[in-house]
Structure 1
Amino acid sequence: MGIGPGSLSDLTFRAATCLEEAEVIIGYRPYLESIVAYLKGKEVFAGRMREELERAREAVLQAQKGKRVAVVSGGDPGVYGMAVPVLQAALEKGLAVEVIPGVTAATAAAACLGAPLGHDFAVMSLSDLLTPWPLILKRLRGALAADFVLVLYNPSSSRRQGRWKEAVEVIKEGRDPNTPVGIVWEATRPGERKVLTTVGEMEKFPVDMRSLVIVGNSQTYVAGGLMITPRGYERK
């Protein structure tokens, strides 16, 4: 189930009901810390980064005991989240799983910036932990060539500064330097901040795993401090 991008105000009614009815709640520790109000009286299993498979197996084990289990995922569980490992582990044991959607970081950050996703867009993660870097660059170039608005998750980390610089150079090759770019840090959380810049200036702003970068397409513009990608309603 997805708990949204960080603020409890973005937790859906359906997700909240799931948490209230669960007997066991399993999740990445920082995500659980954001829903403490729902953990009282529950059996809680908190995990660390890179323990996704272990959490999925624990969920299946608890479900096999007849317990109602909620596996927590930040944002939406099907967008770089826990839905895939949980479904795979459950299918092996013949268990049924309900995937409960949530507000993903892409739409949360987009709302903060204005309406940059008003037309076709491509969502990518720049983390090469699970995907080879050459494949990431291939997909990035393809999305640029197709003139998609780009939504970039996990743009950089302390270990991937060089990767981010390489990605920026690829973006510069495929976009006009004046193309609008929006960067949001800590979307919907207390420390939320944003900046509107351009492809030509985007590298001046340090990004990390808590950032989300939206690169506009050939039609994207900024007006009144808002980033907008028109869909073409005015031509109808």
Structure 2
Amino acid sequence: MHPAKSYALSASPHTIATFRALVEAIVPNTPELAPFGAEQTIGASELGVQDYMIWELDHTLALFFGMELTNFPLSAPTAGMLNSGAVQLVASGHAQHAPNESLWETSPYSAIAPPDRIRVLAMLEELIVDLGALPPPYRDDGGFVKFIVDYLVRGTMFGHYSEWSAYGTTRLDTPTERRLEHFPIGWRQAGYPGVSLGYRALMGFPLTIVRKGGESTIV
């Protein structure tokens, strides 16, 4: 088995459940869009974006230890941070929905309703939590907590709306080994037509110039 794939499968059930709950809350399944086509209803968890987030947190981000830049796996402690936030939300009495007790032992964050998962992100970002109760390296480090919460939202959106899921069976390979297996679903949802040679995301804004004599030119 490819090492990246075996690594993804070896992540703890607690970590996988927590990140599945995270991406599900940020880019949910949207059955109300069914009239526009089945692909429009697909959410991030169905595209496996939780695997993308776990891989990126454990391999792409790096922390400084002393004078050296060292890869420090962050998926497990980040899952712990989210679960601690969920526990604190429920304990504060501010959860808007009762948690699913059957999921609590595996992952408190996955046990709370999607709207409450977003509330946990807001609490963490605004530092309305007991920082001392968070796992290292987030414990008592509000700046790092704020950074990682922002990354979690942006990373989930990128994983969903980029071509990553369309790499299919090669999505956890190194970039040079990945191969597109179909047109990305996120691109269809966003109305992105795909890559084109010479394509420009923004070529400027139309500007109407009224010249002497009354004629107008759009440039």
Q: TM-score, normalised by structure 1?
A: 0.27
State which structure, 1 or 2, has the greater radius of gyration over its C-alpha atoms: 2
More helix by share: 2
Q: TM-score, normalised by structure 2?
A: 0.28
